[in-house]
Amino acid sequence: MDVSGGQSVYPLHRCKTIHLVRHAQGIHNVEGEKDHSAYLSRHLFDAHLTSLGWQQVDNLRKHVQTSGISKKVELVITSPLLRCMQTAVGVFGGEDSTDGIDVPPLMVTDAGDSNHPAISSSNCPPFIAVEGCREHLGVHWCDKRRSISEYKPLFPAIDFSLIESDDDVLWEADVREKIEDVASRGIAFFKWLWTRKEKEIAIVTHSGLLTHTLAKFGDDCHPDVKSEICRRFQNCELRTMVLVDRSMVGSDSSATDYLGKNPSGEDAPSDVTCTTPDGLPN
């Protein structure tokens, strides 16, 4: 019989806090709203942010700073597509880069037709690009990435070392990734997060990946909670969730648990009836 009242208890070290962010408005969003067939257009290849998108980035940046999220995030993971990397560095990066700073910038001036000043990598968490959190693959040119060798000079402080191929070998011009494959890829990405030591991670990704992956979660919850998990992300929306390891995927031990008995001594629980040697209650 379930007496938990719909609640769950999990060890803290088997949980991660993830801040899920959909990229800000890109040029493909504007054209796709007018005509869905625009997504097939080559001129939307690796779509960059619009000027409105950069305003959305600035507003989310203010929110993560005033809410304290920016001080808690230990790692920023971004899809290796231009619009996500622009969003990621704009929201979670350092202040605008200035002369005399000897660390590489997260983004150089005007990267990806941004008309935006350089963004510093000072006083911010590390950034890594991961293929597993890319958008729905294939057919739509906005979802095809450039070569990593093109990205590196634009985003010098982003770590691209986890991406094996310089060219985009995942995107196909005439084959659209199946929805169930997008969801499987997203779930595999979530499992991969358990290989990371960081406990609080920001992930900047895409609506398709988020929608199809999160739809696989929450079936054991109240319908309203399921709806909250699965609700479609708006441009530059941030939603904070807790990822729970219920299958021993991760191997981290607790950094806060304390075993007690130091020094060692008798510790029979108070609700256990103690008896004297003659069998009488003590």
Q: In this structure, what CATH number is given to the domain that contains residue 78?
A: 3.40.50.1240
Q: Which residue has the higher pLDDT, 262 or 56?
A: 56
* 98 domain-assigned: yes
Domains held by the chain: number: 1
* 208 domain-assigned: yes
Pick the catalytic residue from 23, 28, 136, 206: 23
Widest CA span in the chain: 91
pLDDT of residue 15: 93
**Range of 72's domain?**
18-244
d(CA 50, CA 234): 15
pLDDT of residue 280: 57
Q: Is 135 a catalytic residue?
A: yes
The stretches of the chain forming alpha helices (DSSP H) are: 27-34, 51-66, 69-72, 82-92, 148-154, 179-192, 207-214, 223-230
- Stretch 173-185: mean pLDDT: 97
Work out the percent of the chain whose per-residue pLDDT is above 90.
Answer: 74
Q: Is 28 a catalytic residue?
A: no
Pick the catalytic residue from 28, 31, 116, 135: 135
Mean pLDDT of the chain: 91
pLDDT of residue 102: 78
Distance from chain centroid for Cα 26: 19
* 61 domain-assigned: yes
Q: Are strands 127-129 and 238-244 parallel, antiparallel or unpaired?
A: unpaired
pLDDT band at 72 (very low <50, low <70, confident <90, very high): very high
* 268 domain-assigned: no
* 39 domain-assigned: yes
pLDDT of residue 1: 46
Backbone torsions φ then ψ of 222, nearest 5 degrees? -60, 145
Residue 99, pLDDT above cutoff 90 = no
* 121 domain-assigned: yes
Question: Is 102 strand, coil or helix?
Answer: coil
* 282 domain-assigned: no
Residue 264, pLDDT above cutoff 50 = yes
Name the nearest CA neighbour of 239 among 123, 67, 74, 90: 67
Question: Is 257 strand, coil or helix?
Answer: coil
* 120 domain-assigned: yes
Within 10 A of 57 (CB to CB), how many other CB atoms are there? 25
Q: Which residue has the higher pLDDT, 185 or 218?
A: 185
